[in-house]
Amino acid sequence: MEAVGERGNLSGVGHILLVLSGKGGVGKSTISTELALALRHVGKKVGILDVDLCGPSIPQMLKVQGKGVHQCDSGWVPVFVDQDKSISLMSIGFLLEKPDDAVVWRGPKKNALIKQFISDVTWGDLDFLIVDTPPGTSDEHISTVESLRPYKPLGAVLVTTPQAVSVGDVRRELTFCKKTGLQVIGIVENMSGFVCPHCLECTNLFSKGGGEELARHAGVPFLGCVPLDPQLTQSLEEGRDFIQEFPKSSAFPALAHIAQQILDRTSPQGS
Ligand SMILES: Nc1ncnc2c1ncn2[C@@H]1O[C@H](COP(=O)(O)OP(=O)(O)OP(=O)(O)O)[C@@H](O)[C@H]1O
């Protein structure tokens, strides 16, 4: 990996959103990916910065794994997901020799790469830059926030599942946002019930409503619930555009609603 230097910048980026969760596996990368697709669906240009260095799953979710980033005079060019270049992605997944290579790095090396991602990637004009983070509140989060803050005010989208333990972890994320001055755009409750594709009855496999209750209690916006949806799992595995292909699925209206909430809350009138 070659350092490019302090050339790229974020001056053309409208809003930066960090997607956070206290726990692994609650659907952070899923929400980051689907929000990007849902925002593109309404005409927005979106970049995704995948700083989940040890588990970069977004290249596969968008079917661009194995692609290479290249360099131009002004820095690293992200990978474009579609022909009209409305979604671009930068991930450590593109810098590994083999997609399954493990990143076994100590904190300082990870922090250095995050800083480089932030200073050197030439994003161009974007309405939103979505930053998918690792679970928890680690060095990588502090590094990400400190490196991004000089460019723009930062918003946070917190993802939880309905169970108490995950919701408890989000409480710690809220404290992190407060301490680091991130504006909480809102909480998303993911895996919130399972809608049977045959009879359309919703079964709450886990409990339901924890995310909404936590948002009310903490005085932050609740953006919505995304149900467990087998078509969404399949789309992510196959790198298909769920928003485009499955508008009748149970998760589609939920994701579209959350994207609209984000648009409302980041518009000059909404903020
Ligand atoms: N609402 C949903 N419906 C169906 N499948 C889902 C949903 N949300 C997430 N998944 C599936 O759950 C798995 C974990 O999701 P994801 O990788 O987004 O979690 P994560 O929080 O980013 O994990 P990590 O902490 O490891 O980065 C994925 O296989 C994804 O396809």
260: in domain: yes
List pLDDT tens digits, range 17-27: 999 998 888 99
Question: Which residues lie closer than 8 Å to 107 by C-beta, 6 or more apart?
Answer: 138, 139, 140
For 4, 30, 153, 199, 270, the CA distances from 50, given in Å and listed in that order, are: 18, 12, 19, 37, 27
**Pocket lining for ligand 1, CB < 6 angstroms:** 21, 24-30, 52, 55, 57, 135, 190-191, 226, 228-229, 232-233, 236, 251
22: in domain: yes
This prediction has a pTM of 0.92
ipTM over 0.85: yes
Q: Please tell me the distance between residue 31's alpha carbon and the centre of ligand 1 in angstroms.
A: 8
195: in domain: yes
Containing structural domain, residue 50: 13-266
Mutate to test the pocket of ligand 1, among 18, 28, 30, 169 (most ligand atoms within 8 A of CB): 30
CA-based diameter of the chain, in Å?
56
- How many domains does the chain divide into? 1
Rounded Cα distance between 256 and 265, Å, is 14
1: in domain: no
Q: Give one DSSP letter per residue of 115-131, joined into a string.
A: HHHHHHB---SEEEEEE
Domain with residue 178: its CATH number is 3.40.50.300
25 among annotated binding-site residues: yes
271: in domain: no
67: in domain: yes
| Helices of type H across the chain | 28-41, 58-61, 107-120, 139-148, 164-180, 210-218, 230-238, 242-245, 251-266
Mean pLDDT over residues 229-236, rounded? Answer: 93
Q: Please tell me the distance between residue 97's alpha carbon and the centre of ligand 1 in angstroms.
A: 25
Identify which of 12-26, 34-48, 115-129 has the greatest average pLDDT: 34-48
Q: Residue 138 gets which letter from DSSP?
A: -
Contact yes or no for 240/23 (Cβ under 8 A): no
Nearest C-alpha to atom 1 of ligand 1 is from which residue? 228
